[in-house]
Structure 1
Amino acid sequence: MKEFDLKKRTKTFTISILNLVDSLPSKSSTRIIVNQLGRSGSSVGANYRASLRARSDNEFLSKMNIVLEEADESLFWLEVLQDLNFVDNNTLKELLNEANELTAIFVTTLKNTKTRINTK
């Protein structure tokens, strides 16, 4: 069973993304991906932690929407890497799976929070 501690999972995801971008070949096209994926992938963990310190439900929703956007952007860049065949498929498959799972978790979290707020 996968770890459900999202602080730990998002930090591990960030580290995995940073390791991946460090391993990419130095080409013009990969520099773009390195910058974009490095930023979005590292933002997932940082913004998730920020969401945990939210002072209100609305602030939490705002921060979690950023987390969701960054996770989805990371997923996009991972898919681009997959299409370009720059990375070992096993490594990429694990990151794609984790990005998909995290995105689904964040979507569910946002929906549940909105439902809870609307039923107060």
Structure 2
Amino acid sequence: MSESIVKTKSFDLAVSGVNFYKYIVAEKKEYIMSKQFLRSITSVGDNVREAVNAQSKPDFIHKLAIAQKECDETMYWLELLNATEYISENEFKSLHEQSNEVLKIIRSIIISSKKTHNS
């Protein structure tokens, strides 16, 4: 159940990220940080999808750990874009909250997966 939730929410996060990237490039003419942001935000869902198709429980946990790192990196780029005033507080808040929600779900799945794997 939570796997399908994280799959859906990470995909939705990627869609929001791609649209936001297009906006930053077109309207703000920012190309470097926004490209890093795009790579990390789309990598979250990519690694979640790989985790869903993992060959073993350790592989599943490993792929989700990568997704967790990418989600945290996404939040870093958002924080930096906000701090350098490329994006407004409202733009920042929306995507940051969405990223944080996905991050919490991923962390929860990793914790519960490790518990069941080690029992």
Same fold per superposition (TM over 0.5) = yes
Quick check: 1:91 aligned with 2:109?
no
Task: Calculate percent identity across the aligned residue pairs.
Answer: 28
TM-score between both structures, scaled by the size of structure 1:
0.87
Indicate yes or no: 2:74 matched with 1:74: yes
* Aligned residue runs from structure 1 range 24-39, under 5 A: 24=24, 25-26=28-29, 30-39=30-39
Give 5+ residue unaligned stretches, structure 2.
Answer: none
- Is 1:6 aligned with 2:6? yes
Instruction: Work out the number of aligned pairs and report it.
Output: 113
Q: Which one-letter code corresponds to 1:50 in the other structure?
A: E
Task: Work out which structure has the larger RCO, using CA pairs closer than 8 Å and 6 or more positions apart in sequence.
Answer: 2
- Residue 41 of structure 1 corresponds to 41
TM-score (normalised: structure 2): 0.88
Deviations 1:55-90 (A, max 9, x none): 110110111111001100001001111111212322
Moved over 4 A (4+): none
Gaps in structure 1 of 5+ consecutive residues: none
Map 1:53-72 → 2, pairs under 5 A: 53-72=53-72
Root-mean-square deviation (Å): 1.3
